[in-house]
A = this chain, B = another copy of it.
Amino acid sequence: MNRTSILFFLVTMFSALTLMAADPPAVSEATEACLMCHETLHPGIVGSWRESRHSRITPASATAVTGLARKVSSSTVPAEQAGVVVGCAECHMLRPDEHADSFEHNDYRIHIVVSPDDCAVCHSVETEQYAGNIMAHAYANLKGNALYQDLERNLLGMPEYENGKLSFKDPDPEIEAQGCLYCHGTKLEVTGTQTRETDFGEMQFPVIAGWPNQGVGRVNLDGSLGSCSACHTRHDFSIATARKPYTCKECHVGPDVPVYKVYSASKHGNIFHSQEKDWDFNAVPWTVGEDFTAPTCAACHVSLLVDPEGEVIAERTHSMNNRIATRIFGLVYSHAHPKIPDTTVIRNKDGLPLPTALDGTPASEFLIGPEEQARRRAEMKTICRSCHGSSWVDGHFARYDQTHDATNAATLEATRILAEIWENGYATGPAAGGSPFDEAIERRWADIWLFYANSIRFTSAMAGGGDYAVFADGFYSHSKGLAEMHQWLKEREPGDQSD
- Given A178-B460, A241-B270, A391-B205: A482 and B166 within 8 A (CB)? yes
- Across the interface, do B42 and A267 meet the contact criterion of CB distance under 8 Å? no
Cα distance A254–B467 in the bound complex, in angstroms: 6
Shortest CB distance A124–B (Å) = 26
In this assembly, does A366 line the interface, its C-beta being within 8 Å of a C-beta of chain B? Answer: no
Given known pairs A196-B390, A254-B467, the reply for A177 and B399 (CB within 8 Å) is: yes
| A246: Cβ under 8 A from any B Cβ | yes
| A156 to B406 CA separation, bound complex (whole angstroms) | 9
Q: How far is the CA of A48 from the CA of B443 in the complex (A)?
A: 46
Chain A residues numbered 1-16 whose CB sits less than 8 Å from any CB in chain B: 1-3, 5-6, 12-13, 16
Interface flag for A360 (CB, 8 Å): no
Contact between chains at B265 and A389 (CB < 8 Å): no
Do A250 and B270 touch across chains, with their CB atoms under 8 A apart?
Answer: yes
Note all chain B residues with C-beta closer than 8 A to A178.
Answer: 399, 402-403, 456, 459-460, 469
A108 contacts across to B, CB distance below 8 A: none
- In the bound complex, residues from chain B placing their C-beta under 8 Å from that of A290 are 43, 47
A238 partner residues in chain B, CB cutoff 8 A = 274
Query: In the complex, A205 Cα to B410 Cα: how many Å?
Result: 35
Is A427 engaged at the interface, CB distance under 8 Å to the other chain? Answer: yes
Bound Cα distance from A247 to B441, whole angstroms: 39
Q: Nearest chain-B residue to A496 (Cβ)?
A: B164
B233 touches A250 (CB 8 A): no
Q: Whole-angstrom distance from the CB of A40 to the nearest CB of chain B?
A: 6
Q: Does A479 contact B (CB under 8 A)?
A: yes
Chain B residue at minimal CB-CB distance from A50: B289
Which of the four size classes fits the interface of chain A?
35 or more
What is the predominant secondary structure among interface residues of chain A facing chain B?
Answer: helix
Q: Which residues of chain B are near A43, meaning CB under 8 Å?
A: 287-290, 307-308, 386-387
Q: Is A158 on the interface with B (CB-CB < 8 A)?
A: yes
User: Can you tell how many copies of this chain the complex includes?
Assistant: 3
A259 to chain B, nearest CB (A): 10
Contact B387 A476 (CB under 8 A): no
| Binary flags per residue of A388-420, CB closer than 8 Å to B gives 1, else 0 | 111110011011001100100110011011000
Are B6 and A16 in contact (CB-based, < 8 A)?
Answer: yes
In the assembled complex, A372 has its CB within 8 A of some CB on chain B: no
A42 contacts B387, C-beta separation under 8 Å: yes
Cβ-based interface call for A490 (8 A): yes
Do B498 and A426 touch across chains, with their CB atoms under 8 A apart? Answer: yes
A255 at the A/B interface (Cβ < 8 Å)? yes
* Nearest CB in chain B to that of A183: its residue: B466
Shortest C-beta distance, A161 to chain B (Å), equals 5
Given contacts A19-B3, A166-B486, contact A396 B212 (CB under 8 A): yes
9 interchain residue pairs of minimum CB distance:
A47-B289, A44-B387, A43-B289, A182-B466, A174-B402, A246-B273, A183-B466, A440-B487, A166-B486
A-B contact pairs, 11 of them (CB 8 A): A42-B385, A43-B387, A47-B308, A166-B417, A174-B402, A182-B464, A236-B293, A241-B275, A246-B270, A253-B467, A439-B487
Q: A246-B269, A255-B471 are in contact. List 20 more A-B contacts (CB 8 A).
A: A6-B16, A6-B17, A43-B290, A44-B294, A45-B293, A47-B293, A48-B289, A48-B293, A50-B289, A159-B414, A178-B459, A178-B460, A180-B470, A182-B466, A212-B391, A241-B270, A251-B467, A255-B467, A255-B472, A443-B479
